[in-house]
Amino acid sequence: MARGFGKESGIIGVAAAAVVALAAAGTLIFSGAGTDSSAADAAKQPKKASRAAPVDPSIVHASDRPGRSLNITIDDGPDPTWTPKVLEVLKKQNVKAVFCMIGPQAKAHPDLVKQVVAAGHKLCDHTLDHDTGMNHKSESFQSRQILDAQQMIENAAGGAQVEYYRAPGGAFTPYSRKLAADRGMRPLGWNVDSKDFEGGTVDMIDSTVRAELSNGPTVLFHDGGGDRSRTVESLERLLPWMKQQGYGFGFPKR
């Protein structure tokens, strides 16, 4: 830098070189201090959401498994009481599922998130607050709900990718679908709503699912948001019955 601006001979050149040298030394001192400060500031900043390869922003229902296949999806957890019980039933029946998690729940129970991943299930972003009216909120609100939850879930999972995004109550918008898809999360719908969150009996849940299976492959259950003992018992009944009907189990297409 000094060679670029100073003269190569004469008093003026010497003086100029000295000035430049002093300036360079000062720059090094201050830039060093700035580097330390910037590093400290950066360490305080939250991690940005991971940027996986973009996916199709359309809402998916179809299974990635050919033939007669179902996608089991589990919403609103993880929950320390019910998620382990759901995982136990799925393991017993050798069925994989997509767990659509609430960000703060995942942050509070990282051990459960890791168990879900270790068992071969997939992760889905179900926002921060499960606001079923978020399709009427600002884009900045939608962005925070989706991206902050994604980061919480991936941090809790130890870095495993969140592969899907499900809007609470189906409150998708074109903006939220594209935002999620740009971050590698395929918007995920459902075809069969078990109504397990409505407090009905196990028989009611069972009959609802059986009656609606002709609607399509993606089936919605819950492991959070309340007493899910009926969900657990329903899965114990329905999964073997589904196999008897010739169904296999896959994941939603990406």
Question: What's the Cα-to-Cα distance from 194 to each of 56, 88, 96, 177, 182, rounded to whole Å?
Answer: 27, 19, 18, 24, 30
The residues, ordered by sequence, that sit 6+ positions from 3 with a Cβ below 8 Å of its Cβ are none
Q: Is 76 a catalytic residue?
A: no
- Amino acid present at 193: D
Q: Which of 75, 76, 148, 196 is catalytic?
A: 75
Q: Which of 109, 121, 130, 222 is catalytic?
A: 222
What does the DSSP 8-state code read for residue 169? Answer: G
Phi, psi (rounded to 5 degrees) for 35: -65, -45
Q: Please state, as a whole number, how many other Cβ atoms lie within 10 Å of the Cβ of residue 129.
A: 16
Q: What angle (nearest 5°) sits at the alpha carbon of residue 120, between those of residues 119 and 124?
A: 110
Pairing outcome for strands 192-193 and 218-222: parallel
Helix axes 174-182, 139-156, angle to 10 degrees: 30
Longest dimension (CA), the chain: 99
Contact 86, 234 (CB under 8 A): no
Segment holding 207, helix H or strand E: helix 202-212
DSSP annotation of 59? P
57/18 Cα distance (integer angstroms): 61
To the query of whether residue 75 is one of the catalytic residues in this protein, the response is yes
Query: Catalytic residue numbers?
Result: 75, 222
